[in-house]
Amino acid sequence: MQAIEITHFGSPEVLQLTTRAIPQPGAGECLIKVHAAGVNRPDVLQRLGHYPPPPGASDLLGLEVAGEVVGGDINSAHNSFHLKIGDRICALVQGGGYAQYCVAPLSQCLPIPNGLSDTDAATLPETFFTVWSTVFERAGLGALGVPETLLVQGGSSGIGVSAIQLASALGHRVFTTAGSADKCLACEQLGAERAINYRSENFVDVIKQCTNGRGVDVILDMVAGSYVAREIDCLADDGRLVIIALQGGARAELDCGQILRRRLTVTGATLRPRSTQFKAAIAMALKEKVWPLFEAKKIRPIVFKIFPAHLAAQAHALMESSQHIGKLVLQW
Q: What are the structural domain ranges in the chain?
A: 2-124+272-331, 128-268
Query: Ramachandran region of residue 56, left (φ > 0), alpha (ψ -120 to 50) or beta?
Result: left
Answer yes or no: are the C-beta atoms of 167 and 141 closer than 8 Å.
Answer: yes
pLDDT of amino acid 25: 97
Each residue of 244-301: pLDDT tens digit? 999 888 898 889 999 999 999 999 999 988 999 999 999 999 999 999 999 999 999 9
Core vs surface per residue 44-70: b (16+ CB within 10 A) or e: bebbbeeeebeeeebebbbbbbbbebe
Count of other CB atoms within 10 angstroms of residue 91: 29
Question: What pLDDT sits at residue 247?
Answer: 86
Domain 128-268 has CATH 3.20.20.30: no
- pLDDT tens-digit profile of 130-167? 999 999 999 999 999 999 999 999 999 999 999 999 99
Q: At what angle do helices 181-189 and 158-169 cross, to 10 degrees?
A: 30
Would you give the distance in Å from CA 283 to the centre of its chain?
A: 14
pLDDT of residue 248: 87
Angle at 172 between CA 168 and CA 178, to 5 degrees: 60
Selecting from 3.30.70.120, 3.90.180.10, 2.40.50.220, 3.30.300.30, what CATH number does the domain 2-124+272-331 have?
3.90.180.10
- What pLDDT was estimated at residue 293? 98
Paired with 16 in beta bridges are 5
This prediction's pTM? 0.94
Give the type of residue at 28: G
Query: What is the full per-residue pLDDT of the chain (332 aa) written as tens digits?
Result: 999 999 999 999 999 999 999 999 999 999 999 999 999 999 999 999 999 999 999 999 999 999 999 999 999 999 999 999 999 999 999 999 999 999 999 999 999 999 999 999 999 999 999 999 999 999 999 999 999 999 999 999 999 999 999 999 999 999 999 999 999 999 999 999 999 999 999 999 999 999 999 999 999 999 999 999 999 999 999 999 999 999 888 898 889 999 999 999 999 999 988 999 999 999 999 999 999 999 999 999 999 999 999 999 999 999 999 999 999 999 99
